[in-house]
Structure 1
Amino acid sequence: MQGIAVVLAERHRELTDQLVQAFGDRIPELPSDPVLVDLLHGSAGSNLENLAHLLRGHMRATQIRAPAAAVEYARRLAQRGTSPSALLRAYRLGQQLILAWAVEEVAARVPDPVLAMRTNNLLTQTSFEYVDAVSEEVIGAYQSERERWLANRSAVQRETVEALLRDERLDLAAAESSLGYRLRQHHLGLVLWTAPGAGDLTAAERAVGVVAERLGAGHALFVPRDRETAWAWVPIGRSGQVDASVVDAILAGVSDQVSVAIGSPAAGEPGFRGTHQGAAAAQEVAQLGQLPAGSVLTYEDPTVRAAALLARDLPVTRDLVRRALGTLAEDTEGAARLRETLLAFVQERESYVATAARVHLHKNTVKYRVDRAVEARGRPLTEERLDLELALIACKWLAPEVLVRASGG
């Protein structure tokens, strides 16, 4: 069993990646946003490291404790309202997959069938002891955090908000009373988040208050999602008209620690859902694109809407980028400049003058860059024009996920 423990310790990164992938594929209830996936990765990896220590005899079964990363992940699930059964399923599935891997390793390394059977039995017993102890501790942490979270008014608001977003049949008057917010009006949905470790959501809540004040709106609804993320709705009256560029400017000046995604204005209870869905889609684009803290995206931007659709199937989008752009898809500063100019040129209906004004370059510089971009692509602009524009949009917003590593890089 010592040999299996050594291999487990050596390959724990690879096995962690496999576990996280399996959890995402087979437990859809687990949150899929990048922050929670990172926490899940830390939880799975630290559990594997602890299991390797146990198998090597570095600790006794009575000394088993849940890793800090596993406890934090359980607490964050409690804040999100994810069912604890999903967390338990992850531990059971993880045990199943690691045991299956271990049995294959034993078969390859232990020729004696009797010794192999004894080793497998011991691995099974030890893994059950570990999962039993750790799962009990993380469920305890989950329940404590859930009780604390639900004790806050914000959690009550969040439960009502989530019911509305699920389109459950609710008494609107009761829902408005719980929220302290009118649903029968036009809304502007926001998703706000801070950089990891940046502190609480005070700056995010202040940003929402500034927006509501500057727009002359009524009381905004601010609902913490977890320690780093909040949802908000700003009332914008009966007209539903709002200058998104003004909102961008306001939010950009509030805090460089708060990133904001803005939905499209919409009316009534359906609009409450719709404007939030747009903001959430814009947030996903921002996080996949690894935009810096303090970024502001609006779903009103058609390129953001397109990027949100492209983000739903990243393998297909990566293939589109490679096919449509050729070497123009390489992750270099030079290629980035050419892509930026070419996208503006395509969107400005191939006008050198309009493109020059948009990107603040001389017309001749624009022409030079466009010519170089077409050369790098290896095909004229007229060939598969739609694929070209979508690929450029994907590179603009989802660069870390879709660009090609430059040759020799």
Structure 2
Amino acid sequence: MRCRYGCCRHSPRSVSGSVGDISPIVGSSLSMPRSLVRKTVGTGTDSGHSHPKRRCSTVLFRADKAAKRRQRRPFLVRRHKRAGLPRAVRRWTAVVFAVTVGAIGSHSRKVRLIVRTPSHTVLERPGSLAEQDVDRYVALVASLLNEQLADITATMRDVLYTQIGELRGDESLLNLLGASIEGNVETILHILQYDIADEHVEPPSAAFEYARRLAQRGVPVNALVRAYRLGQDHLLKRSFEAIQATIAEPAIAFCASQRFVSTTFNYVDWISQHIVSVYESERERWLENRSAVRAARIKELIGGKTADTDRAEENIGYSLRQRHVGVVLWIDEESVSDSGLSTLERWATTLGECLGSRGKPLVVACDRTSVWAWLPFGHRDTFDPAAVRVFAEADAAAPRIAFGEPVAGVDGFRETHRQALRAQALALAGGADPVIGFGEPGVAAACLLSANLPSTRAWVQRVLGRLALADDQHGRLRDTVRVFLAEGGSYTAAAERLTMHKNSVKYRVARAEEERGRPISDDRLDVELALLACRWLGDAIYTEPR
């Protein structure tokens, strides 16, 4: 009968044979006398082999006298080439004894390993590391870390506060961050200490509440996810330190470290999904509620119902102690889409940047086709209205824009908005230019005339007569007379402004007087106002030609 390696035969008496007692080796120091090692291991004939020089089931040892003289270096090991040991064990060991025990005849084999580690301790492993030993050490390390929970929480909070600027806030938010860290770390350590199944793990309530608070304050969600990754790194460093200080056997330390890494990674991956879901839900709900609350507070401000400026600023998220320019942006009904309001909000922000505003504008939806906006200008009291017109003309997709003048304070917040609304009403009534500013010449007067269109129409027709007809010929006459009067009745100045010959201006003024039926000088102020109304109200007051 051949042995399992096929290198030698067992004699018939080997069926009942056995290896000598190895109990003196188990748990003993590797510096035992060489004679005891020989006696314990036995010879080839004792182990039932017919070939005493080919002992495959036992390990041959020889003493290296020179090595022993050099600070008692370990024995050299010779073993059968197929009787290999686990790679991780070979990497950690200084000396390995492999001894075959059990019934030789039945070929049942159990290898008992005695490993001398760098710390000169001895570990006995039947076959592989016992799972219960790893579990015991993992629970021990987890319990020791749990006793340091307060210190781990404090140091981790400092790390996150230092490395993630978005998480910096007031004291209440920092305390909630600490509670979230403590809840997550405690949950991980309890999973390791008590071997809790994944399906029985509950997320900490403080972690969910912290995610909601960050969503309410507009902190990006990637900052929250990064906090969990940095927290995982910090906890693993503390865990490795505790494992190194607690577990002397490298094999068990290695398995315990693996357990900590896998458990922590799985938990962070699981909790991150829940946290992001809570964050997104809260963000959507908060934005909806905030928009409704902000719109209500803004309407109270416009109506003069709010006396507490600090409270109002907190509710709307905008400083009232500065100069503002009220703006109304709108699109036609046929251009409305699902993203219409968000597009108008982006246009408002871009307009503020173009005009050099001192911060993000306050924007609130008025209806599905228009938004109200306030552009902050700090202490600046002027801006260039022509820049608004250039901004709108640069893009054919730009919305229609009406804006007021820069005014300061809470009263200015109301007044500039009312100016923008009156300018918008004028633009809607007359179909005027896509950009109109309340401070432009004649706009304020035209806004007053637009308050009662039927009366204004009748008055304009009485003052201008046939000059109020809605055709191109009379339109050119009206424009020439309006410029002529604006230039103080100077034919030369009017010709330069209109880029035409002076005689042409004289001819058109004369033709306008003929159409009107009387000289312009008779009631010059009325004529100017009537022409101003025609300029801004257009078709709303023209007379249809017969």
TM-score range, shorter-chain basis?
Answer: 0.5 to 0.7
Matched with 1:48 is none
Q: How does 1:100-111 map to 2 (within 5 A)?
A: none
CA contact (8 A) 2:306 2:312 kept: no
Matched with 2:501 is 362
State the SS of the aligned residue for 1:201.
Answer: helix
Distance 1:203-1:348 versus aligned 2 partners, 3 A rule: farther
Q: Which one-letter code corresponds to 2:531 in the other structure?
A: L
Matched with 1:216 is 356
Structure 1 residue 254, shift from structure 2 partner: 4.3
Structure 1 residue 255, shift from structure 2 partner: 4.6
Structure 1 residue 371, shift from structure 2 partner: 1.3
State the SS of the aligned residue for 2:326.
Answer: strand
Matched with 1:269 is 410
Matched with 2:457 is 318
State which drifts further: 222-231 or 209-218. Answer: 209-218
- From 485, 490, 495, give the equivalent of 1:346: 485
Q: What is the rounded CA distance, in whole Å, between the counterparts of 1:154 and 1:233 in structure 2?
A: 15
Structure 1 residue 184, shift from structure 2 partner: 0.5
Q: Which one-letter code corresponds to 1:396 in the other structure?
A: R
CA deviations 1:286-305 (Å, max 9, x no partner) are: 0001236xx00000113111
State the SS of the aligned residue for 1:223.
Answer: strand
Structure 1 residue 226, shift from structure 2 partner: 0.6
Q: Which one-letter code corresponds to 1:190 in the other structure?
A: V
Q: Is 1:162 the counterpart of 2:316 in the alignment?
A: no
Q: What is the rounded CA distance, in whole Å, between the counterparts of 1:173 and 1:334 in structure 2?
A: 57
CA contact (8 A) 2:457 2:541 kept: yes
State which drifts further: 361-370 or 268-277. Answer: 361-370
CA deviations 1:5-51 (Å, max 9, x no partner) are: xxxxxxxxxxxxxxxxxxxxxxxxxxxxxxxxxxxxxxxxxxxxxxx
TM-score under structure 2 length normalisation: 0.45
Q: What is the rounded CA distance, in whole Å, between the counterparts of 1:163 and 1:228 in structure 2?
A: 22
Q: How does 1:5-404 map to 2 (within 5 A)?
A: 151-199=288-336, 200-217=340-357, 218-291=359-432, 295-404=434-543
Q: What is the rounded CA distance, in whole Å, between the counterparts of 2:363 and 2:394 in structure 1?
A: 19
Distance 1:356-1:202 versus aligned 2 partners, 3 A rule: farther
CA contact (8 A) 2:392 2:398 kept: no
Q: Which one-letter code corresponds to 2:349 in the other structure?
A: G
State which drifts further: 309-318 or 254-263. Answer: 254-263
Distance 1:256-1:338 versus aligned 2 partners, 3 A rule: farther
Q: What is the rounded CA distance, in whole Å, between the counterparts of 2:539 and 2:530 in structure 1?
A: 13
Q: What is the rounded CA distance, in whole Å, between the counterparts of 1:299 and 1:374 in structure 2?
A: 31
Matched with 2:279 is none
Structure 1 residue 362, shift from structure 2 partner: 2.6
State which drifts further: 323-332 or 366-375. Answer: 366-375
Q: What is the rounded CA distance, in whole Å, between the counterparts of 2:317 and 2:392 in structure 1?
A: 24
Structure 1 residue 277, shift from structure 2 partner: 0.9
Count of paired positions: 258
Q: What is the rounded CA distance, in whole Å, between the counterparts of 2:376 and 2:346 in structure 1?
A: 16
Structure 1 residue 374, shift from structure 2 partner: 1.4
Q: Which structure features the higher share of helix residues?
A: 1
CA deviations 1:122-150 (Å, max 9, x no partner) are: xxxxxxxxxxxxxxxxxxxxxxxxxx999
Q: Which one-letter code corresponds to 1:304 in the other structure?
A: V
Q: Which one-letter code corresponds to 1:171 in the other structure?
A: D
Distance 1:290-1:149 versus aligned 2 partners, 3 A rule: farther
CA contact (8 A) 2:347 2:398 kept: no
Unaligned runs of 5+ in 2: 1-284
Q: Which one-letter code corresponds to 1:227 in the other structure?
A: R
Q: What is the rounded CA distance, in whole Å, between the counterparts of 2:530 and 2:356 in structure 1?
A: 39
Structure 1 stretches of 4+ with a deviation exceeding 4 A read: none
Q: What is the rounded CA distance, in whole Å, between the counterparts of 1:257 and 1:250 in structure 2?
A: 8
Structure 1 residue 257, shift from structure 2 partner: 4.6
Q: Which one-letter code corresponds to 1:349 in the other structure?
A: G
State the SS of the aligned residue for 2:324.
Answer: strand
CA deviations 1:107-128 (Å, max 9, x no partner) are: xxxxxxxxxxxxxxxxxxxxxx
CA contact (8 A) 1:264 1:299 kept: yes
Structure 1 residue 349, shift from structure 2 partner: 0.7
Give the alignment's Cα RMSD to 1 decimal.
Answer: 2.0
Q: What is the rounded CA distance, in whole Å, between the counterparts of 2:396 and 2:344 in structure 1?
A: 8
Q: What is the rounded CA distance, in whole Å, between the counterparts of 2:503 and 2:417 in structure 1?
A: 43
State which drifts further: 356-365 or 178-187. Answer: 356-365
CA contact (8 A) 1:198 1:257 kept: no
Structure 1 residue 247, shift from structure 2 partner: 2.5
Unaligned runs of 5+ in 1: 1-147
Q: Which one-letter code corresponds to 2:373 in the other structure?
A: A
Q: What is the rounded CA distance, in whole Å, between the counterparts of 1:314 and 1:366 in structure 2?
A: 31
State the SS of the aligned residue for 2:518.
Answer: coil
Q: Which one-letter code corresponds to 1:214 in the other structure?
A: C
User: For the pair shown, which has the larger CA radius of gyration, 1 or 2?
Assistant: 2
State the SS of the aligned residue for 2:363.
Answer: strand
Relative contact order: is structure 1 or structure 2 higher (C-alpha 8 Å, sep ≥ 6)? Answer: 1
Distance 1:184-1:377 versus aligned 2 partners, 3 A rule: same
Q: Which one-letter code corresponds to 1:402 in the other structure?
A: I
